[in-house]
Amino acid sequence: MLKKIVIVSAAVFLTACSTLGGKKDEPKVNTDFMGGNIRVSYTLTGEFESLTSSGVAKVTSTLPSAVDEAYLVATLQARKQIVEFMKVEVENSNFIRAVAESLQEGTNTNGSPDNKVTSKIATELQDNIRQQSKAILIGTYVADKSYDAGSRTVKVVIRTGVKDAEVAKQVSRIMGN
């Protein structure tokens, strides 16, 4: 019991420390993939910030455990989408096009965004995600979950990011893994 309290306290402390230092608030750009189920957030310089994935599942019975089982299914679906995104979308040339379009929309202040610059930033983001793919997958956690009684469905949002991956590494070291 004491070990669990120490681990949770350490995780909270490390999370607080990881959010104190850092760069000034750079503007963030978001690009949606896979029909909007995956959202990638990054800076205007192409630095990866976070990735969110959402999964939806139907509650299929009236058993007391049915909602929990649906949350599990939705969570697994959202995590599976992240893996598919990392294997397929990030390696696809459409990734660079989609990010470049989002950057053009976000930086279109003078009416003539530079296609070469946005393509270069999109390529840098693609490389950043490739290099950090293992850490991105390790740092996933359930950020939000909800239940709609009317439609008997649950929705789970999985989030991961650079800071989240660092916290996961530090907690793993504390636990001796």
pLDDT, tens only, 42-67: 988 889 999 999 999 999 999 999 99
State whether the Cα torsion 74-79-84-86 is positive or negative: positive
Indicate the average pLDDT of the chain. 81
Strands (E), 45-140: 48-58
pLDDT tens sequence across 144-170: 999 999 999 999 999 998 776 666 666
pLDDT tens sequence across 62-106: 999 999 999 999 999 999 999 999 999 998 889 999 999 988 886
Q: Are 62 and 88 in contact (CB under 8 A)?
A: no
Question: What integer pLDDT is reported at residue 12 of this predicted model?
Answer: 41
CA proximity to 174, closest of 1, 4, 34, 54: 4
Of 15-24, 103-112, 156-165, the poorest mean pLDDT is in: 15-24
- Asked if residue 15 has pLDDT above 50, the reply is no
- Asked if residue 135 has pLDDT above 80, the reply is yes
- Asked if residue 4 has pLDDT above 50, the reply is no
For the chain, the structural domain boundaries read 25-161
| Rounded average pLDDT over 112-135 | 85
Q: Are 129 and 90 in contact (CB under 8 A)?
A: yes
For 149, list phi and psi in degrees, rounded to 5: -65, -30
Of 13-27, 66-80, 122-136, the poorest mean pLDDT is in: 13-27
Predicted TM-score (pTM) of this structure:
0.74
Residue of higher predicted confidence among 118 and 176: 118
